Amino acid sequence: MKTLYTTQATATGGRTGSARTADGALEVTLVTPKELGGPGGEGNNPEQLFAAGYSACFLGAIKFVAAQKKVQVAEDSTVSATVGIGPRDDGQGFGLDVALAVTLPGIERTTAQEIVDQAHIVCPYSHATRGSLDVRITLL
């Protein structure tokens, strides 16, 4: 693979601490949710960051595929990622549950579904999770 872009982020304190990118463009306070035994409150958690990253990346993949098909993607198109975490069935740690909800207004449904299906192949987040995570995608 020819790398086109590289970034770096460093976390301190684990799920209750902080994380920031090397360039300082992103800095977040990390707080473990009460549901996972943490204090909850102000801050973010890795699942929120993953949901934001995956939804943005998947919408980018949709735009890439649509451009190849010469289909215009509306500015109000959205991808919402719902990310859950819980103990794996094998008892060996934790796993993620991911669902993507896609809205592509103004694109005929069959064409929109083709774009979404191809975007799931193109998107690096989808590629990285393929085989280890069941990502459910719904075209709304």
Q: What is the pLDDT of residues 72-97, one digit of tens each?
A: 999 999 999 999 999 999 999 999 99
| DSSP SS3 for 34 | helix
| DSSP SS3 for 14 | coil
Task: Please write the tens of the pLDDT for every residue from 16-57.
Answer: 999 999 999 999 999 999 999 999 999 999 999 999 999 999
pLDDT value at 15 more than 90: yes
Cα gap 130→14, rounded to integer Å: 26
Q: What is the CA radius of gyration of the chain?
A: 17
- Token representation of residue 126: 């989808």
| Alpha helix ranges (H) inside the chain | 46-68, 109-122, 124-129
Burial 78-106 (b: 16+ CB within 10 A, else e): ebebebeeeeeeeeeeeebebebebbbee
Please state the rounded mean pLDDT for residues 101-107: 98
Please state the rounded mean pLDDT for residues 63-70: 98
* Phi-psi map region of 32: left, alpha, beta (phi>0 left; psi -120 to 50 alpha): beta
Adjacent-strand bridge partners of 97: 84
pLDDT value at residue 134: 86
Q: Which amino acid is at 69?
A: K
Percent of the chain at pLDDT exceeding 70: 100
Average per-residue pLDDT for the chain? 97
